[in-house]
Amino acid sequence: MSKIPLTVVGAETLRQELHRLKTVERPAVINAIAEARAQGDLSENAEYEAAKEKQSFVEGRIVELEFKLGSALIIDPKTLNAGGRCVFGATVVLEDVTNGDVVTYQIVGDDEADIKHRKISISSPIARALIGKTEGDIAEVQAPGGIREYEVVEVQYI
């Protein structure tokens, strides 16, 4: 079984979602099914069908989260000692070689990636191009518009 990399924050977010699904969503769906059953004929009961569909989604997500957390390799970026290299969990400051724009990204697991919060997936093209690079290195990223070059300005483990 392969390990799924997660940061400490990402693992905690998944644990909170799992707890919410088990303690709030699952009981609510069970109640909705019971109420729909009380209405009688189930063959044409839209509320019953909707509740059963939601139950299927909730139970599937619970199984998925339990699997991911059970096979997680939790990495705390603060404890990394990667010698200034870009690795999973690192926060990287980049400068676009073409236009000088500066961006900061943290390399995280697939489940915690969120571009709005500057978190990019380890499997994204930019993260794959950055892995192993150090300050001053140039990373070439295959983008839809062609190859883009970024200089690694700083690597932080925060």
At 101-158, the pLDDT tens digits run 999 999 999 999 999 999 999 999 999 999 999 999 999 999 888 999 999 999 999 9
pLDDT digits (tens, 9 = 90+) for 13-42: 999 999 999 999 999 999 999 988 888 777
Residue 2 confidence (pLDDT) above 90: no
Q: Supply the DSSP symbol for 157.
A: -
pTM to 2 decimals?
A: 0.84
Average pLDDT along the chain = 93
Structural domain boundaries in the chain? 4-75, 77-156
Are 35 and 47 contacting, i.e. CB atoms less than 8 angstroms apart? Answer: yes
Torsion of CA 97, 128, 125, 68, to 10 degrees: -140
What is 4-75's CATH number, 3.40.50.720, 3.40.109.10, 3.90.1150.10, 1.10.287.180? Answer: 1.10.287.180
pLDDT level of residue 60 (50, 70, 90 thresholds): very high
CATH 3.10.50.30, applies to 77-156: yes
Q: Are strands 4-7 and 146-156 parallel, antiparallel or unpaired?
A: unpaired
pLDDT of residue 1: 58
Q: Supply the DSSP symbol for 117.
A: G
Instruction: Give the C-alpha separation, 146 to 67, whole Å.
Output: 37
